[in-house]
Amino acid sequence: MADQIPLYPVRSAAAAAAANRKRAAYYSAAGPGPGAERHSRYQLEDESAHLDEMPLMMSEEGFENEESDYHTLPRARITRRKRGLEWLVCGGWQSLCSSCCDWLVHVCQRKKQLKARTVWLGCPEKCEEKHPRNTIKNQKYNIFTFIPGVLYEQFKFFLNLYFLVVSCSQFVPALKIGYLYTYWAPLGFVLAVTITREAIDEFRRFQRDKEMNSQLYSKLTVRGKVHVKSSDIRVGDLIIVEKNQRIPSDMVFLRTSEKAGSCFIRTDQLDGETDWKLRVAVSCTQRLPALGDLFSISAYVYAQRPQLDIHSFEGTFTREDSDPPLHESLSIENTLWASTVVASGTVIGVVIYTGKETRSVMNTSNPQNKVGLLDLELNQLTKALFLALVVLSAVMVALQGFVGPWYRNLFRFLLLFSYIIPISLRVNLDMGKAAYGWLIMRDRNIPGTVVRTSTIPEELGRLVYLLTDKTGTLTQNEMVFKRLHLGTVSYGTDTMDEIQSHLTMSYSQTHSQAASTPPRKMQSSTPKVRKSVSSRIHEAVKAIALCHNVTPVYESRGGVAGETEHVEADQDFSDENRTYQASSPDEVALVQWTESVGLTLVSRDLSSMQLKTPSGQVLTYHVLQVFPFTSESKRMGIIVRDESTGEVTFYLKGADVAMSTIVQYNDWLEEECGNMAREGLRTLVVAKKALTEEQYQDFESRYSQAKLSLHDRTLKVAAVVESLEREMELLCLTGVEDQLQADVRPTLEMLRNAGIKIWMLTGDKLETATCIAKSSHLVSRTQDIHVFRPVTNRSEAHLELNAFRRKHDCALVISGDSLEVCLKYYEHELVELACQGPAVVCCRCSPTQKAHIVKLLQQHTGKRTCAVGDGGNDVSMIQAADCGIGIEGKEGRQASLAADFSITHFRHLGRLLMVHGRNSYKRSAALGQFVMHRGLIISTMQAVFSSVFYFASVPLYQGFLMVGYATIYTMFPVFSLVLDQDVKPETALLYPELYKDLTKGRSLSFKTFLIWVLISVYQGGILMYGALLLFESEFVHVVAISFTALILTELLMVALTVRTWHWLMVVAEFLSLGCYLASLAFLNEYFDVAFITTVTFLWKVSAITVVSCLPLYILKFLKRKLSPPSYSKLTS
C-alpha cells in the first residue's frame, strides 16, 4: 500500500535540511568510494522517502534517530527499478493500455474548466462566458435515453441477455423448437413491468424538479421589480428573497431590510445543522439610501471559481465610480448559498453561481441504479447453470458421434435444455420484491414507511455497516436546560422554582439598595467573604443571561414587507411575540432558561443589551467587546459595562477542557463535568472577572493594536485576550441536554447485537458528537474512546494511527480534516483499523466526505452498507450506500425523497431490518432456488429422454405443456413462498443475534445451490426412468405419467420447503391441482383421456411421486432432529 502513496515533503525545509546533513555526515564517514558516490546520488531524495520505508507500527523516536533506515534506503530504490523490455513484459503493457484508455476517456469526457469570474451588478449581459442554467435536475434519463437506458440496465444481467438470444434464435427455421410465444411472452412481460415501473419513477422525479424550477422570485431591474422563474435566473441578476423563501442560487449578500445590516439564514438542507447562521450585507451597498441606487453605481464582484467547500468563500467587491475606487473583501459571511432559507427580513443579492455550479448541487452525487447482492449472486449461479447447459449439450452431441451438421444439433440441444435457466426467475423475483414492498408499507407497527426503490428489499437483510447522521436522526435537535451546579449545591429540573424565588428576592434587595445608596466603588480591596447561596445564584444567572450571542426577535403583527424601517416604539415587546436567534441552539436554551427563572433578555444590538428583572425593571448593559466561540479556543467571552453602576465585568463561558486552567483552583469542577457527561449532558463552565476602568482601558489599547497588525494577527489577538483569562472566579457549571429521538438507545443496542457496526457521520462539533455517542449508547459505557488528534501532514498522521493501533476495543472519534489527511496517505490502514473498532464517530464531515466514507467501506470490506439521514446534506451518503434510508424529519423531506426507503422515526429501523429485511432475503433465496430447481428437474428429464432415444434433439413436452408447467400449474404455490417465514416477528426482534447468520449469506450459496441441483437430478431421473419402466406400449403414456408425476412432485416439494404455513399457501396448492385436473379434459393432443381415468395410471403416478419425494421428507426430518438451525431452537 505504502508504495502507491504519492510522496510529499513531510517536514519543513529546515527539518529536511537537517536530515540531509545527518545523511551527508553518515555517507561521508564511509570515506571516498562507492558510499560518497551514493550520497551524491540520493541526497536529493525527499524526507518522505524515509517514511515510505517505515512500517506503520513505529515509535515516535523512529522519526528522529532511526539512522539504520538510511542503510536500506538506496538499495531498496535500486531493486525496485526495471528497465526496457523487462518492464514491458512484467506488466508494463497493462499500464500502457490502461493509460491509453484513461487518456481516451479523458478526451471524450473533458469537462468545462471552472474559472473565477467578474460579475457586474444587475448586468448579466456583461458576463464574458456562458454559465449553466439555474435548473435542478434529479432525473436519470431524458426522452431519448429512456428506452435505451432501461434496456441496457435489464440486459446487462446475464440472465436477461441469455433469454433475448434464445428468443431471437426462434426466428431461424432450422432452430425453431415449439411456439414463439413460449419464449417471447415471459420476456415481454418482464420488460413491460420494468419499463412501466421506471417510467412512473422517472415521471415523479420530473414533476418534483418542475415544481422546484418554476418557483417565482422577484428580480430587480432598471424598470423596477419583475417576477422570474427560478430556472430563468442568470449570473449577475439582482434577486430579492423574502423571509422563509428558499434561496434559488448562490449569491453575494448586498442589502437587507434589517436595520443591523445582517440577517439569519437556515442552512439545514446544506450542512445538516439546524442552528441559524448570521450573514452580513456588503456595507457599501447596505449604506445606499434606496434600492434603486444599486443601478446608479458601477460595481462588480470578483468571485473565486466554483468549488465544493460550503464553509469558505473568497472574493472582492469593487465600486468603480467612487474616487478612489472602493474595495471590500468578501468572505463566507457575505454569501447566501442556494438551498438555504432566509430566516429574518428580506434580502437582496447578486447571483454569482447558478445550476450545476452552486455549492449544493456540487455536493450532491448523481443517483445510481442500485442492484441487490442477492441479484448478483443469482446472476453468478445463472452463469454456472449456463456452463452446465453448454457441457450437457456438448456431451449429447459427442455421444451422437458428431454426425451430420453437428453444430446445428448442438444449438438445438442448447435450446432444448434452455429451461435449465428459467425465464420465470426474473418474473417471480420482481413480483416477490413488489410483494415485500407492499408488506412493509402495510405493517402497522411502522406506520408511514414508504418503499421508493422496490428492487432491493433483500438488502435490508444483509447489512453489516450502518452509517447514520446525528442531528435530527439520533437526536431531536431540541436543547433543554437540565442542570445548574454551583459547587456546593446542584439544581435539577424539579428544583428550578427555588432558583426563581432566590432571584426574585435578591433583585428586590438590590433594587431597594440601589434606590438608597449611590453607585459604590469596586470591592476589590475588601476581604473575600463567603457569599450566600442567594447572591451566588444571582451572579450565575446574570452571567448566563449576559454571556452569549443571542438576539431576541419580535414578530411584527402587521406583517410589514420590503425595506420599511421599524420604529422601536411600535415594536411589541410582549413575551409571546419574542423568539431568540443564535448560531448555536445551546445558547438559545440557556437564554430561554434564564427567561423561565425570571431574568429576560428583551433587546440586543451591536453595542448594548437589556435585561428585564423579575420585578419588571429593565437593566441596560453596554457591550464593550465580544470574543466569539471558535473550535480552537472552545470558549466565548464578553465584556460589559453596567449602565446603572458603571462596573466593567468580563464574562467567559466554554468547554471544561479549556476553562479548567483559567478559573481559580477548585476541587469539584472536573468530577461534576464527568458526572454530567455520563448523563449525556453538554456542559459549559461559566466564569467572571471584575475589571477596573484602568485595567479595561489598558486592555482595549493593546487589543486594538493587535487587531491592526499585519503579521500573525490571530496569534497576537489571542495573546492579548489570554492576558485577561487568568484567575477568573468560577460561577457555575451548566448542563444542557440534546434530547434523543424516541427509543434510540434500545434500537442501537438491538442493531449492535445483530452484528451491525454503527458509524456516526455528522457535520457537528467534536464535543457534541462525542457526547451524543455516549448518551445514545452508540459507544457502550465500558468502552474507551480514542479522540484522533488534529493532523495536518503525513508524519503526524503516521504517529496518530500508531497511537490508535495500540488500543484495543476502542471507539474512534475523528474530524473531517484529519480524516482527509489520513485518507490521502494511509487510506487502507485507516479503514482497516476503523473497521476493527466497535464504533466510529466522524465529526465536521461535509456531504461529499460522508459519501466518500460509504464508498471506502464498500471498496475495502466488500460488505453491504446502509446510510440513514434526514437532511439535504445526507442525500449524497444515502445515494452512495447499498441501501439508503431517509427519515422524514424537521429538516424537510429531501433525504426521504432521495432514499430507497423512507421511515418516520429512527426506532422503526429495528423492525425494518430484523423482520422485513430477514423475511425478504430468506424468501427470495428460497424462491430463487426453487424456481431454478423447477427448471433443472425438467431439463434432467429431457436429458434422460434424449439419451434413451438415441440422442435425438426432440422435445419431451410440446407447446402448451411447457408454458403451463412454468405458469398456471406451479406458479401460485411457488410464488406463495413469499409468505413463508422461519421465525415470528416477535422472536426476530427479541433475538437480534439471528440477524448475524443472514450477513454470512448462507441461505443462498453455492453449497445450498448444489444441494438443490442434486435434488433436481435425483427427482428428474426417478420421474423419467420410472415412467419409462412403467409405460407399456405407447409413447404417449410416458408423457402422461411423467408429466402428472412431475406436477405432483413440484406441489409436494413446495410443501416440503415451507416453514410456516399460511392459508393462502394451502389455497394455492389446491388451486394449482384443480387447474391441472380441469385442463386434462382439454389436452387431448397430449394425453389419452381413456388411459388417464384408469386405476393403472393412478397407481403408477402415485408410486413414482412417492419414490421421488419420500426420501427427501425423511432426510428433512432427520436434519431437523440432528442439527436443527438456530431459529428452530428458539421457536420450539
Give me the active site residues, please.
469
- 306 alpha carbon, distance to own chain's centre: 24
Cα 905 to its chain centre, rounded Å, is 16
| Residues 6+ away with beta carbon under 8 Å from 255 | 281, 282, 285, 286, 288, 291, 294, 347, 348, 563
Residues in CB range of 8: below 8 A, 6 or more apart: 48, 793, 794
Joined together, the cell numbers standing for residue 186 give 415471459
Fill in the amino acid letter for 686: V
CA distance linking residue 1001 with residue 1007, whole number of Å? 11
Bridge partner residues of 341 (DSSP)? 246, 266
Rounded distance between C-alpha atoms, residue 1013 and residue 162, angstroms: 20
b/e burial code for range 305-314 (CB count within 10 A of at least 16 → b)? ebeeebeebe
In this structure, the strands spanning 463-468 and 757-761 are parallel
Instruction: Quote the cell numbers at residue 1040.
Output: 402422461
Longest CA–CA span in the chain (Å) reads 129
- Which ranges of 991-1094 would DSSP assign to H, the alpha helix? 994-999, 1006-1030, 1035-1057, 1063-1080, 1089-1092
How far apart are the C-alpha atoms of 529 and 519, rounded to whole Å? 20
The torsion region of residue 155 among left (phi > 0), alpha (psi -120 to 50) and beta comes to alpha
Three-class DSSP category at 917 = helix
**CA-to-CA dists, residue 893 to 469, 620, 888, angstroms:** 15, 43, 5
Nearest by Cα to 597 from 505, 488, 479:
505
d(Cα 927, Cα 911) in Å, to the nearest integer? 23
DSSP three-state, residue 985: helix
Strand-strand pairing, 901-903 and 883-887: parallel
List, in sequence order, the alpha helices (H) in 679-726.
Answer: 693-708, 713-724
* Cα Rg of the chain, angstroms: 38
For residues 810 and 799, give the distance between their C-alpha atoms in angstroms, rounded to a whole number: 17
Q: Which residues contact 161 (CB under 8 A, 6 or more apart)?
A: 155
Q: How far apart are CA 1058 and CA 978, in angstroms?
A: 10
Question: In this structure, what DSSP letter does residue 445 have?
Answer: T
Nearest residue to 243 via CA among 334, 338, 349, 341: 341
